Amino acid sequence: MANPLIAFAVSSGESSGGLLDVNPGLIVWTGITFLLLLYMLFKMAWKPILNSLNEREQSIKDSLEKADKAREEAQKIFEENKSDLAKAEAEARKIIAQGREYSEKIKEQMLTESKQQAQKMIDEAKAEIDRKNQEALNKLKEQVVSLAVNASEKIIRESLDKEKHGKIVEKYLEDLSKN
């Protein structure tokens, strides 16, 4: 058979033959080269490189997980803080309300107390004033009486002269005798 490919190859005149000629020596050399390369690269490159890649991937994964966990924790703390704050606020509001109520009560109490006290003081003062008034009045009475007595005494003493009184007495006596 006139295979054109073989003719083509033969006409090239190469000592190594045609395109599809298999050279056993080259197969051997390729095998040796490849296996040596495989061994050297395995020792030198693939092992450390693949280990490093795995290590890096692991560290990235760990970091992501850690970050996730930290975020979750922060969220939890934030929520806790929020609820604590709300609780504290409620507490404060309660305390303020209580204080206000208490102060109101105290105010009222003090007010009534002071009112009572004032009333009492006013009453006392009134009684005192009454008493003093009475006292003054009594003194005045006494003085007036004594003054009146003194004055009448003086008047009496002044106006009692002999002739006048004699006439009065005479007249009196006359009246008596008439009756």
Partner 1 sequence: MISDSTKAIADSLHTAQSTGSEDTGWILHHILDSKYILGLFPSPEIHLFGIDLTITNHVVFMWIAAAILIVLLNKVSRSYKKSLVPKGITNVVEILIVFVRDEIARPTIGKGHEKFLPYLLTTFFFILTCNFLGLVPGSATATSNISVTASLAILSFLVTQAGGIMHNGFGGYFRGLIPHGVPAWLLPIMAVVELLGLFTKPFALAVRLFANMTAGHIVIYALIGLIFILKTYFVAPVSIAFALFIYLLEILVALIQAYIFTMLSSLFIGMAVHQEH
Which residues bind to partner 1, rule: CB under 8 A? 1-4, 6-31, 33-38, 40-42, 44-50, 52-53, 55-56, 59
Smallest distance from partner 1 to CB 71, Å: 24
**Nearer CB in complex with partner 1: 3/98:** 3
Q: How far apart are CA 47 and CA 53, in angstroms?
A: 10
Tell me phi and psi for residue 18, to 5 degrees: -90, -175
* Least distance from partner 1 to the Cβ atom of residue 69, Å: 22
Minimum distance, C-beta of residue 53 to partner 1, in the bound complex (Å): 7
DSSP state of 25: H
Nearer to partner 1 by Cβ, of 17 and 99: the residue is 17
How many CA atoms within 13 Å lie on the side-chain side of 114?
Answer: 6
Query: SS3 for 18?
Result: coil
Structure tokens at 57: 């991937």
Closer of 41 and 86 to partner 1 (Cβ): 41
Supply 159's token pair.
């106006």
Least distance from partner 1 to the Cβ atom of residue 70, Å? 22
